[in-house]
């Protein structure tokens, strides 16, 4: 990205202006460059500048290719320039940034020792500022007025600051938004965080700093230790040699140590120590070398014969989270036997389709027999059509299990017990030409459930847009039929295009839906409003011709999120008295961290907006607000719905639909085995990520702060020379040959 920084009044070039690129992925954005003597600048969009925990600036390659970014410029005597740009606009040509004279917002801080009240001089800290949508947007040359700011969620610029001899810190030229000051690691003070708000006339705020604790880890031989803070497991720190931690926050920590043995270099943690640290304390821990034992297991069937195709998963049952769910899986030999090198402790043995078995390992323990139990979650199914004929080749998904029906339509599903809800198992049945079938069944190895699949009907939708859509524009359609809905096959332009000018303009969707009754078709092109069409009971095709571009109303608002609530899913729906169908679909809502949002494409008759938010802990919030004069209230309250209230509407498909790796990742580790890292990611996010055995010992270094989990895994895959493959129940890193 290239451009020039100019004074908005005189047009003179401004030199030495700090420039930041905020990518909206939660990564810390340190200054990426400065303008030259003639005000010109060049910023590489494939590089990102970040600070580590100790406050040192680092640059790294950025492969995320964000669709939009926020450009921030800071110069003495000028208000901060904040402007959202699409990636295409940033690369299109030189940008002329106009900086308005002014002071902007600021902070006045004084750091004092909490115990003595003495000034804390020379303390380094990182100030993170997340611009809000209320920040004054920056203007480009040729514009009379800048468009309203639409900052991508989790965009934040970072400044490294240091207290003077009196403990004071003065910071100016800040945009409006939320700010956080974090004391850098490796200092005598604990790494505390303080929430702040920049002001036009800032008053001095006193921040008390607590003394940090010191912890020294030592051991003999080759090992790897992980230091985990009990209330922040995502901020684990890995060390590969004896190390001293300085400036730890007082509180409870767990020390996990893994001693490699043979080829199992990323095995289970064998040692754990709980440490309660107080401010100013210095502690030394010597990790003992473990005494190795062998846990022998044999998997047998109901007749007592060995199961050579079984796989046994071993978990530590006596370790606290997050590493308590770390696991190691090994296949059985021809007799169904498998052995694990372990140390004394409590373990959990798992075989798919069977209840877990917990054992206490000691020198006197013999071979553990893993035999079927009466309460194992085994589901026997037979799939037939309406005429009673068997349906072969149907896929059945139950939790993490996936099976395919044979020629007689029969199959046996062995699901993990953790996917049972009150003893029942939720299954999805998919078969070509048949409607999706969802059932909740009671596993019973002695009973065969017969499920009847309904034949579907193909409906085809075709249309053209007047102009080719932008590369990242989204086109979606949904067919609503009573309480059921049908989503199309993955959309793509029609391959039969008579001339190059029609490239990207022709779209065709095919739906499989119930062969009875009329239906309503909902179609959304880009950021336009949802359009509705009627589909007759016997209609199999709808040709809409050329669709004229449509634009609806645009409103901005802010949801009042409870403290600590982090939405994993956010959706909205529209209430329109003139068209009740609008309230039948919900659309994805892009939220910033402070709850701000912008909604595009509202229909002319829209009177209300409804909201549905769900967090990672399954907490749900809903709310509704009236559109008064085309605007929304400054702060929209949310509440938890009663159990009798149903979650509203059919979810309208969107590009941010949940995947096996939804959510964000915050992790900073150095030289950690890839296998250990993937297990740690799985234990903190709930995602199952696997990689080949030959890659598990490869050392990697990562630093993520609230990065979308799927983006972090894509980055890991590229760094390891792999591609990320998504399965219904897991994600897999596959080497690129």
Q: What is the pLDDT of residues 607-648, one digit of tens each?
A: 889 898 887 666 788 888 888 765 676 678 888 875 434 444
| CA neighbours closer than 13 Å in the CB half-sphere of residue 295 | 25
Residue 81 maps to a domain: yes
Q: What is the CATH number of the domain that holds 106?
A: 2.60.40.1120
Question: Which of 405, 422, 452 finishes a domain?
Answer: 452
DSSP bridge pairs for 543: 462
φ, ψ dihedrals at 187, nearest 5°: -115, 165
Note whether 387 and 481 are same-domain residues.
Answer: no
DSSP bridge pairs for 200: none
What is the rounded distance in angstroms from the CA atom of residue 519 to the CA atom of residue 479? 7
What is the rounded distance in angstroms from the CA atom of residue 151 to the CA atom of residue 157? 12
pLDDT band at 729 (very low <50, low <70, confident <90, very high): low
pLDDT at 656: 31
- The DSSP secondary-structure symbol of 578 reads T
pLDDT at 708 over 70: no
Q: From 535, 594, 544, select the one nearest 566 (Cα to Cα).
A: 594
Contact, 453 vs 384, CB < 8 A? Answer: yes
Question: Which of 392, 417, 452 finishes a domain?
Answer: 452
Cα–Cα distances in angstroms (integers) from residue 398 to residues 128, 353, 417, 420, in the given order: 44, 11, 11, 9
Q: What is the CATH number of the domain that holds 492?
A: 2.60.40.10
Burial label for 163, CB within 10 Å (0-12, 13-18, 19+), is buried
pLDDT at 424: 79
Note whether 481 and 499 are same-domain residues.
Answer: yes
Rounded to a whole number, what is the distance in angstroms from the first to the last CA of the chain? 34
What is the rounded distance in angstroms from the CA atom of residue 666 to the CA atom of residue 670? 14
pLDDT at 382: 93
pLDDT at 408: 93
Residue 314 maps to a domain: yes
Residue 200 maps to a domain: no
Which span out of 415-429, 458-472, 520-534 was modeled with the highest average pLDDT?
Answer: 520-534
Note whether 519 and 625 are same-domain residues.
Answer: no
Note whether 135 and 42 are same-domain residues.
Answer: yes
Residue 574 maps to a domain: yes
pLDDT at 88 over 90: no
- Residue whose tokens read 């939708």: 461
Q: Which domain holds residue 86?
A: 2-161
Cα–Cα distances in angstroms (integers) from residue 428 to residues 188, 399, 404, 488, 537, in the given order: 56, 9, 12, 18, 26
Note whether 607 and 701 are same-domain residues.
Answer: no
SS3 for 97-152 is EEECECCCEEEEEEEEECCCCCECCCCEEEEEEEECCCCCCCEECCCCCCCCCCCC
Note whether 392 and 255 are same-domain residues.
Answer: no
Note whether 10 and 99 are same-domain residues.
Answer: yes
Note if the pTM is more than 0.75: no
Note whether 281 and 307 are same-domain residues.
Answer: no
pLDDT at 650: 43
What is the rounded distance in angstroms from the CA atom of residue 339 to the CA atom of residue 332? 9
Give the count of domains, the chain. 7
pLDDT at 653: 38
pLDDT at 70 over 60: yes
What is the rounded distance in angstroms from the CA atom of residue 391 to the CA atom of residue 385? 7
Which span out of 254-263, 361-370, 679-688 was modeled with the highest average pLDDT?
Answer: 361-370
pLDDT at 733 over 60: yes
pLDDT at 662: 47
Q: What is the CATH number of the domain that holds 587?
A: 2.60.40
Contact, 267 vs 260, CB < 8 A? Answer: yes
Over range 686-691, report the average pLDDT.
76
Residue 656 maps to a domain: no
Note whether 572 and 631 are same-domain residues.
Answer: yes
Q: What is the CATH number of the domain that holds 684?
A: 3.55.50.30
Note whether 153 and 241 are same-domain residues.
Answer: no
Rounded to the nearest angstrom, the gap between the alpha carbon of residue 485 and the centroid of all alpha carbons in its chain is 27
pLDDT at 11: 87
pLDDT at 629: 66
Question: Which of 651, 684, 707 finishes a domain?
Answer: 651
Note whether 227 and 248 are same-domain residues.
Answer: yes
pLDDT at 706 over 70: no
What is the rounded distance in angstroms from the CA atom of residue 336 to the CA atom of residue 198? 65
Residue 205 maps to a domain: no
pLDDT band at 27 (very low <50, low <70, confident <90, very high): low
Residue 397 maps to a domain: yes
pLDDT at 119 over 70: yes
What is the rounded distance in angstroms from the CA atom of residue 447 to the CA atom of residue 449? 6
pLDDT at 659 over 50: no
Average pLDDT over all residues of the chain:
78
Residue 37 maps to a domain: yes
Lookup: tokens for 296: 């022998």
Q: From 391, 431, 396, 395, select the one nearest 407 (Cα to Cα).
A: 391
Of 101-110, 157-166, 220-229, 407-416, the least confident: 220-229
Cα–Cα distances in angstroms (integers) from residue 645 to residues 251, 637, 638, 642, in the given order: 41, 18, 15, 5
pLDDT at 111: 93
Note whether 622 and 706 are same-domain residues.
Answer: no
């Amino acid at each position: 990205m290239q451009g020039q920084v100019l004074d908005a009044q005189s047009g003179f070039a401004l030199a030495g202006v700090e420039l930041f690129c905020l990518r909206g992925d939660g990564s810390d954005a340190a200054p990426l460059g400065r303008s030259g003597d003639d005000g010109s600048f060049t910023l590489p969009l494939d590089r990102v500048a970040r600070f580590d925990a100790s406050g040192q600036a680092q640059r790294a390659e950025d492969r995320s290719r964000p669709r939009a970014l926020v450009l921030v410029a800071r110069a003495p005597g000028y208000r901060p320039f904040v402007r959202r740009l699409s990636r295409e606009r940033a690369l299109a040509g030189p940008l002329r940034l106009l900086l308005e004279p002014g002071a902007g917002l600021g902070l006045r801080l004084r750091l004092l020792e909490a115990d003595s009240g003495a000034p804390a001089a020379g303390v380094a800290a990182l100030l993170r500022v997340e611009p809000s949508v209320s920040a004054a947007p920056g203007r480009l040359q040729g514009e009379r007025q800048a468009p309203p700011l639409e900052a991508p969620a989790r965009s934040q610029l970072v400044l490294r600051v240091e207290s003077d001899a009196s403990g004071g810190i003065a910071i100016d030229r800040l945009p409006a938004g939320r700010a956080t000051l974090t004391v850098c690691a490796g200092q005598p003070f604990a790494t505390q965080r303080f929430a702040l708000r920049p002001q036009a006339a800032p008053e001095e705020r006193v921040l008390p700093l607590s003394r940090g604790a010191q912890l020294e880890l030592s051991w003999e031989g080759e090992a790897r230790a992980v230091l985990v803070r009990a209330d922040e497991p995502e901020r684990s720190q890995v060390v590969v040699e004896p190390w001293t931690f300085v400036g730890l926050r007082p509180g409870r920590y767990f020390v996990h140590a893994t001693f490699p043995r043979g080829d199992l270099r990323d095995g289970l943690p064998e040692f754990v120590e709980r440490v309660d640290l107080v401010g100013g304390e210095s502690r030394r821990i010597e990790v003992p070398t473990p005494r190795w034992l062998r846990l022998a297991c044999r998997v047998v069937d109901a007749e007592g014969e060995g199961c050579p195709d079984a796989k046994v998963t071993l978990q530590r049952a006596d370790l606290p989270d997050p590493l308590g769910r770390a696991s190691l899986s090994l296949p059985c030999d021809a007799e169904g036997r498998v052995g694990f090198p372990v140390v004394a402790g409590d373990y959990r043995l798992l075989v798919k389709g069977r209840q877990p078995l917990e054992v206490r390992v000691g020198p006197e323990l013999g071979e553990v027999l893993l035999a079927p139990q009466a309460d194992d979650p085994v589901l026997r199914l037979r799939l037939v059509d309406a005429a009673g004929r068997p349906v072969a080749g149907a896929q059945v998904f139950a939790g993490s299990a996936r099976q395919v029906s044979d020629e007689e339509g029969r199959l046996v599903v062995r699901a993990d017990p953790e996917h049972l809800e009150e003893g029942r198992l939720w299954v999805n049945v998919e078969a070509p030409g048949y409607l999706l079938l969802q059932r909740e069944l009671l596993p019973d190895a002695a009973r065969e459930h017969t499920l009847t699949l309904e034949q579907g009907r193909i409906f085809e939708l075709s249309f053209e847009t007047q102009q080719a859509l932008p590369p990242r524009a989204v086109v979606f359609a949904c067919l609503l039929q009573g309480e059921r809905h049908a989503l199309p096959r993955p959309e793509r332009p029609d391959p039969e295009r008579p001339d190059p000018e029609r490239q990207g303009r022709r779209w065709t969707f095919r739906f499989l839906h119930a062969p009875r009754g009329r239906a309503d078709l909902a179609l959304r092109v880009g950021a336009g409003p949802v359009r509705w069409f009627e589909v007759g009971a016997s209609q199999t095709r709808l040709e809409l011709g050329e669709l004229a571009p449509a634009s609806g109303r645009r409103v901005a608002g802010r949801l009042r999120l409870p403290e600590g609530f982090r939405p994993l899913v956010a959706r909205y729906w529209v209430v329109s008295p003139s068209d009740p169908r609008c309230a039948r679909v919900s659309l994805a809502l892009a939220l910033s961290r402070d709850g701000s949002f912008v909604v595009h494409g509202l229909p002319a008759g829209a009177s209300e907006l409804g909201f549905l938010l769900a967090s990672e802990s399954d907490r749900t919030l809903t709310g509704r607000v009236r559109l008064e004069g085309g605007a929304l209230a400054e702060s929209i309250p949310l509440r938890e719905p009663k159990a009798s209230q149903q979650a509203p509407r059919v979810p309208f498909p969107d590009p941010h639909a949940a995947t096996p790796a939804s959510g964000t990742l915050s992790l900073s580790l150095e030289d950690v085995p890839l296998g250990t890292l993937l297990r740690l990611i799985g234990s903190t996010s709930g995602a199952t990520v696997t990689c080949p055995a030959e890659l598990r010992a490869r050392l990697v270094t990562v630093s993520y702060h609230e990065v979308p989990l799927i983006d972090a895994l894509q980055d890991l895959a590229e760094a390891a020379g792999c591609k990320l493959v998504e399965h219904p129940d897991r994600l897999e890193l596959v080497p690129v040959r």
